[in-house]
Amino acid sequence: AQSVTQLGSHVSVSEGALVLLRCNYSSSVPPYLFWYVQYPNQGLQLLLKYTTGATLVKGINGFEAEFKKSETSFHLTKPSAHMSDAAEYFCAVSDRIQGAQKLVFGQGTRLTINP
Amino acid sequence: GAVVSQHPSRVICKSGTSVKIECRSLDFQATTMFWYRQFPKQSLMLMATSNEGSKATYEQGVEKDKFLINHASLTLSTLTVTSAHPEDSSFYICSARVPLAQQGSPLHFGNGTRLTVT
Q: What pLDDT shows up at residue A38?
A: 92
Query: How far A46 CA lies from chain B's nearest CA (Å)?
Result: 7
Q: Which residue of B has its CA nearest to A40?
A: B111
B-chain residues near A94 (CB < 8 A) = 104
All residues of chain B having their beta carbon less than 8 Å from the beta carbon of residue A103 are: 34, 46, 95, 107
Residue A100 banded pLDDT, cuts 50, 70, 90: very low
Of B93, B104, B109, the CB nearest to A49: B104
3-state secondary structure of A85: helix
Mean predicted confidence (pLDDT) in A89-108: 79
> How far A103 CA lies from chain B's nearest CA (Å)?
8
Report the C-alpha gap between B72 and B58 in whole angstroms.
17
- Write out pLDDT tens, residues B56-100: 999 999 999 999 999 988 899 999 999 999 999 999 999 987 766
Contact B44 A94 (CB under 8 A): no
Rounded CA separation B105/A100 (Å)? 8
Asked if omega into A31 is within 30° of 0 (cis), the reply is no
**Residue B79, CA distances (Å) to A57, B8, B50 in order:** 35, 11, 9
B41 contact partners, CB below 8 Å, separation of at least 6? A9, A108, A110
pLDDT for res A80? 97
Q: Tell me the nearest-neighbour CA distance from B81 into chain A, angstroms.
A: 19
- Residues A109, A13: Cα–Cα separation, whole Å: 13
Q: What is the mean pLDDT of residues A27-34?
A: 84
Residue among B87, B53, B52, B47 nearest B68 (CA): B47
DSSP B26-70: SSS--SEEEEEEE-TTS-EEEEEEEETTS--EEPTT--TTTEEEE
Q: Which of A42, A90, A99 minimises the CB distance to B112? A: A42
CB pairs under 8 A between A and B: 66
Which of A32, A42, A108 faces B43 most closely, judged by CB atoms? A108
What's the whole-number mean pLDDT along residues A40-48?
Answer: 88
Print burial letters for B30-61: b (CB count within 10 Å at least 16), e (below 16).
bbbbbbbbbeeeebbbbbbbbebeeebbbeee
Are the Cβ atoms of B103 and A44 closer than 8 angstroms?
A: no
8 A C-beta contact, residue B95 and residue B36:
yes
Portion of chain B with pLDDT greater than 70, in percent: 93
Q: Please give, rounded to a whole number of angstroms, the shortest distance from the CA of B82 to a CA of chain A.
A: 23
